[in-house]
Amino acid sequence: MQATTTFDSSLILLTYKGKVLLTHKDTVSTIVETALWSLIQAKKVKNESFMESLYKKLEREMNIKLSEIKHLSSWLYRSKKKCFYHAKLSDEDVNNIMRKGVILEFFAVEELKKLSLSNVTRLFMEKHKDILEQVHN
């Protein structure tokens, strides 16, 4: 079993036309049922805010340049601070996404219940059901 590394980080719920963008790091398994899916996450870099680290990761690894990110909550998970955000993707954002070695997939909100999600992603989904309901409608 692989050890889980925890660190101070930002996670973002990216939504587009009723769907949620998730990623997974298992480059061997491309089968949706066996992959451990998670929100996009950025490790907090020293001398940067949580949001700055997130903006940089989105731009560097996915070519997503968001103009607005909404802070939803912050809490401790396994003794590390996690900051949670939400942003809506535009048509232009989605058309410009580059998957530089990152596996990304859009899922309808009702599909999330069927996926194997990382622990912190599952906790986020439970805590922010209101956001998911807005995305779904």
Looking up tokens 């660190």 gives 7
Q: Give pLDDT, residue 26.
A: 61
Q: In the numeric block, which tokens belong to residue 134?
A: 């807005």
Q: Give pLDDT, residue 1.
A: 37
pLDDT tens-place string over residues 8-50: 889 999 999 999 999 986 655 555 556 689 999 999 888 888 8
pTM, to two decimals? 0.85
Handedness of CA 30, 45, 9, 16 (dihedral sign): negative
Better-scored residue on pLDDT, 67 or 107:
107
**Mean pLDDT of all residues in 67-77:** 88
Domain definitions of the chain by residue range = 9-136
The angle subtended at Cα 31 by Cα 91 and Cα 1, nearest 5°, is 115
CATH topology of domain 9-136: Nucleoside Triphosphate Pyrophosphohydrolase (3.90.79)
| Secondary structure of residue 59 in the 3-state scheme | helix
Contacts of 67 (CB under 8 A, 6+ apart): none
Rounded to a whole number of angstroms, the distance between the first and last alpha carbons of the chain is 39
Q: Give pLDDT, residue 16.
A: 95
| Secondary structure of residue 9 in the 3-state scheme | strand
Q: How confident is the model at residue 120 (pLDDT cuts 50, 70, 90)?
A: confident
> What is d(CA 76, CA 9) in angstroms, rounded to the nearest whole number?
10
Percent of the chain residues topping a pLDDT of 70: 86
Answer yes or no: are the C-beta atoms of 51 and 10 closer than 8 Å.
Answer: yes
Answer yes or no: are the C-beta atoms of 83 and 50 closer than 8 Å.
Answer: yes
